[in-house]
Structure formats: structure tokens, C-alpha cells
């Protein structure tokens, strides 16, 4: 019988793409999502693309009774844990919400997992846990640093608590996946990122400028010590990222304890390079202005992706042109996102 995977946050951006990849690979999937920032429409579309649905449970990872019932009624072999809040600015204004949701929520989830005898967990971490490294590219051997905001600190805290947990009980089998900058959308144009309100991240902001929802892009800082003065990041296509989760899940079957893997492409692009690539893909000019640096941003951040290549047999396949074309297809076909 196929393994059943619990995907927390499976109605969100990365979770929905990963749910699709799991279903396509033959897994059974149970999604738990409170729909705070996700949409059940995304799961309807996942079902359409996969030809079969995931089981959807609307609920919260902080609800222990619900989790106990979920684990009792489904034979879960592993948990992919995407559920969490992710808006950096909001985390500065409302830190307790972030710690409660991201940190306490993970504690409750792990308690319920242990109670149910489920010990395999894949956690959505972030390159933000490296802080501001003095050298590029960033490899997993780099020490973790000081994230510049409560969101980032919540990710680092969860990493630390998961390491403590694994040290206390050898049955825990945990992957910490440190994502670089997820972008793009499913090639069908049916799944993509559906930000609430004005987007904070570069790609959703650029797409909304291109469709005329926003007037122009502000480029935060043109005086960084980078190729053209603007910030450099390692953008990774969300479908490649989803595939990385499947590869991690497979690799964990033969590994113990905690494993850390960067999920990035190993290539950095500047904001101006991103603008140019987006204009090319969309065929539209992208108005922008150069403004002051955004507090908390670092100059550059890209991954050494060789460990995942070696240990997972995973390498990102999709380049910048594809990331832009897929983002644009999603944005033009769904100007209001999932609109629910
Ligand atoms: P998202 O907001 O689209 O998805 C998160 C999902 O979790 C949403 O559907 C939301 O409704 C759900 N959720 C939030 N709190 C919940 C709770 N308490 N109980 C149940 N469901 C809850 O975000 P995403 O971009 O898909 O990110 C997924 C994960 O990856 C997050 O943990 C995020 O911090 C992490 N991550 C994202 C990025 C990025 O740039 N997108 C980068 C690094 C790490
Ligand atoms: N940028 C702009 N204008 C914008 C938005 C972004 O110039 O309107 C620039 C930023 O200054 C940065 C680059 O575009 O140089 C990327 O910015 P994003 O906000 O898209 O992404 P970040 O690298 O700042 O942050 C992302 C995730 C965080 C995660 C972090 C570290 O949003 O959750 O990567 O991996 F913590």
C-alpha cells in the first residue's frame, strides 16, 4: 500500500506544489491547513492535475485534539511541515503571533507525532538561519547566524528544538530543508503564489506591477557590493523545490537523526537581472525606481547546492527564463490569485 504523508500547510504556495508532486509519485496525502494564507481552490486544482485528490482537513497545527484524531484515523508515515506564518514585516510588528504559530505550533505537532508513533519529519526552514555569512556560496557546514527578524528567529528556534528532540529520542528522523528564494509556478498556470495584500517578495511584486495592479517596483538599494549594486539572491523554481522534498523523503529512509540540506540552484541573480528577465518573459516594460536599502536585507545570498546533489540526487532543473515564464503565465491567467 502507498505511504500516506501528512502535509501541514498543504493549501499554501509551496505545500500545494509539493502535494501535487507527492500524488503524482503515488503517495496518499492528507493536508492539514487552517486556510489563514492558503486556499482550498489550490487543492481542487491539485486534484485536477493529479487525477486524484488529497484528503483535506481544515484545521490548525496548534489544535492537539484535532491532531490526535488525525493521526488515529490515518496511518501517517511522515510529515512534511510547511504550516507557518512567513511575512517578515508582520513578524516585527506581531512577534508573539509568529512564535506562537511557528514555534509553539511545531511543538504541538511534534508532541502529537510522538504520541502517535510517527517520527519522520521534514521541516521548511530557510536560508535566513545563516544570518549574514561573510562568504558565498553558503554551504550547510556554515554556522547558523543571527536572523534579522522574529520570523527568521522562529525558523532558527524550530531547527534548534528539532535537534534537541532528535538528540533525546533516536527514533526521530528529521530533515531541515533550508530554502533559498522560492519563485515560479506550476507550468499549467493553475497553481501559483497567492499573496494576501501587497506582496513583500520580489517576484509577486513584479508580477503585480506588470499586470497594472501596482504602479512601480521599488528596488531596495543600488549601493550593495554586488555585480550592479542591487541585492543578489538564489531564486529556485517552486516545482524543483517540491521535487527536492520527495528526494529528501526518499533519502531519509536510509538515514538517521537530523539531516540538513540547502535547496537552491547555486546561482545568484541581482534585482536588475531579475527585472530584465521578467520583461523578456512578459513582453512588458517593468517600471521601477531605485530607493534606499530595506532594513534587515543582506547584500547577497546564494547556495552551495552540492550536498543535496550528492546525498539526495537532486538538482534544480529549471532556469531563470522558465521561472519568469511560469510566474507570468500564473499571474496573467489568475490576476486575482485564487480569488477566494
Ligand atoms: P504559504 O503562506 O503560502 O503557506 C503556508 C500555509 O500554512 C498556508 O496555506 C497557511 O494557511 C497555513 N498555515 C499557517 N499557519 C497554520 C496553522 N497554525 N495551522 C495550519 N495551517 C497553517 O507559505 P509558503 O511560501 O508556501 O511557505 C511554506 C513554508 O516554507 C513556511 O513554513 C515558510 O516559512 C517556509 N519558507 C518559505 C519561503 C518563501 O519565500 N516562500 C522561504 C523559506 C521558507
Ligand atoms: N526587493 C526589491 N523590491 C521589492 C522586494 C524585494 O528590491 O519590492 C529585493 C530585496 O531587497 C532582495 C531581493 O529583492 O534583494 C529579494 O527579496 P525578497 O523579499 O523576495 O526575498 P528575501 O531574500 O528578502 O527573503 C526571502 C524570504 C524570507 C527568507 C529569506 C531568506 O521572503 O522568508 O528569503 O532566505 F527568510
Cell digits of residue 169: 529520542
Which residues are annotated as catalytic?
A: 151
pLDDT along the chain (340 residues), means of 10: 94 98 98 97 98 98 98 98 96 97 98 98 98 96 95 98 98 98 98 90 95 95 98 98 98 97 98 98 96 95 98 98 97 87
- In whole angstroms, give the CA distance from residue 44 to residue 51: 10
* Residue 264 confidence (pLDDT): 98
- Identify the DSSP state of 296: T
* Residue 2 confidence (pLDDT): 85
Residue 339 CA: distances (Å) to CA of 62, 204, 265, 336: 27, 15, 31, 5
Q: Is 102 in the pocket of ligand 2 (CB under 6 A)?
A: no
Q: Report how far Cα 81 is from the mean position of its chain's Cα atoms.
A: 10
- In whole angstroms, give the CA distance from residue 300 to residue 268: 8
* Residue 340 confidence (pLDDT): 60
CA–centroid distance, residue 82 to ligand 1 (Å):
5
- In whole angstroms, give the CA distance from residue 54 to residue 280: 36
**Terminal CA-CA length for the chain:** 35
Q: Is 16 in the pocket of ligand 1 (CB under 6 A)?
A: no
Q: Which ligand is nearest to the CA of 301?
A: 2
CA–centroid distance, residue 14 to ligand 1 (Å):
7
Q: What is the pLDDT of residues 21-66, one digit of tens each?
A: 999 999 999 999 999 999 999 999 999 999 999 999 999 999 999 9
* Residue 195 confidence (pLDDT): 82
Q: Report how far Cα 308 is from the mean position of its chain's Cα atoms.
A: 16
Contacts of 134 (CB under 8 A, 6+ apart): none
* Residue 250 confidence (pLDDT): 97
Q: Is 294 in the pocket of ligand 2 (CB under 6 A)?
A: yes
β-sheet bridge partners, residue 237: 183
CA–centroid distance, residue 183 to ligand 1 (Å):
14
Q: Is 104 in the pocket of ligand 2 (CB under 6 A)?
A: no
Q: What is the pLDDT of residues 261-295, one digit of tens each?
A: 999 999 999 999 999 999 999 999 999 999 999 99
Considering the domain 4-185+235-264, what is its CATH architecture? 3-Layer(aba) Sandwich (3.40)
Overall pTM > 0.95 = yes
Nearest atom (ligand 2) to Cα of 230: 15
Dihedral angle, C-alpha 273, 276, 278, 282, nearest 10 °: -170
CA–centroid distance, residue 124 to ligand 1 (Å):
8
* Residue 197 confidence (pLDDT): 85
Handedness of CA 340, 125, 239, 185 (dihedral sign): positive
Report helix, strand or coil for 246: helix
- Identify the DSSP state of 77: E
Tell which one of 31, 35, 84, 105 to mutate to probe ligand 1, the residue whose CB is within 8 A of the most ligand atoms. Answer: 84
Amino acid at each position: 500500500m502507498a505511504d500516506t504523508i501528512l502535509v501541514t500547510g498543504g493549501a499554501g504556495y509551496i505545500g500545494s506544489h509539493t502535494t501535487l508532486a507527492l500524488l503524482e509519485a503515488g503517495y496518499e496525502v492528507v493536508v492539514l491547513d487552517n486556510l489563514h494564507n492558503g486556499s482550498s481552490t489550490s487543492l481542487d486544482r491539485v486534484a485536477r492535475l493529479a487525477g486524484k485528490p488529497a484528503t483535506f482537513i481544515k484545521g490548525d497545527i496548534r489544535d492537539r485534539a484535532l491532531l490526535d484524531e488525525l493521526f488515529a484515523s490515518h496511518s501517517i508515515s511522515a510529515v512534511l511541515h510547511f504550516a507557518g506564518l512567513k511575512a517578515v514585516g508582520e513578524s516585527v510588528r506581531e512577534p508573539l503571533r509568529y512564535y506562537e504559530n511557528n514555534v509553539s505550533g511545531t511543538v504541538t505537532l511534534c508532541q502529537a507525532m510522538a504520541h502517535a508513533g510517527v517520527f519522520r519529519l521534514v521541516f521548511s526552514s530557510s536560508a535566513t538561519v545563516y544570518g549574514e555569512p561573510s562568504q558565498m556560496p553558503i554551504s550547510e557546514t556554515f554556522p547558523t547566524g543571527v536572523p534579522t527578524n522574529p520570523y527568521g528567529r522562529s525558523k532558527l528556534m524550530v531547527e534548534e528544538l528539532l535537534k534537541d528532540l532528535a538528540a533525546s529520542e533516536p527514533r526521530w528522523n528529521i530533515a531541515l530543508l533550508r530554502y533559498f528564494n522560492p519563485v515560479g509556478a506550476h507550468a499549467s498556470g493553475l497553481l501559483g503564489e497567492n499573496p494576501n495584500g501587497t506582496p513583500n517578495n520580489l517576484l509577486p511584486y513584479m508580477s503585480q506591477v506588470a499586470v497594472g495592479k501596482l504602479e512601480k517596483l521599488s528596488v531596495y538599494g543600488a549601493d550593495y557590493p554586488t555585480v550592479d549594486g542591487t541585492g543578489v539572491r538564489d531564486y529556485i523554481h517552486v516545482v524543483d523545490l517540491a521535487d527536492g522534498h520527495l528526494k529528501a523523503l526518499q533519502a531519509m529512509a536510509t538515514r538517521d537523526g537530523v539531516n540538513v540540506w540547502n535547496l537552491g540552484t547555486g546561482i545568484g541573480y541581482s534585482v536588475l537581472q531579475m527585472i530584465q528577465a521578467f520583461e523578456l518573459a512578459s513582453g512588458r516594460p517593468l517600471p521601477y525606481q531605485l530607493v534606499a536599502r530595506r532594513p534587515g536585507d543582506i547584500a547577497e545570498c546564494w547556495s552551495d547546492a552540492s550536498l543535496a546533489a550528492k546525498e539526495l540526487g537532486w538538482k534544480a532543473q529549471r532556469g531563470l527564463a522558465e521561472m519568469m515564464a511560469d510566474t507570468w503565465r500564473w499571474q496573467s491567467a489568475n490576476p486575482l490569485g485564487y480569488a477566494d
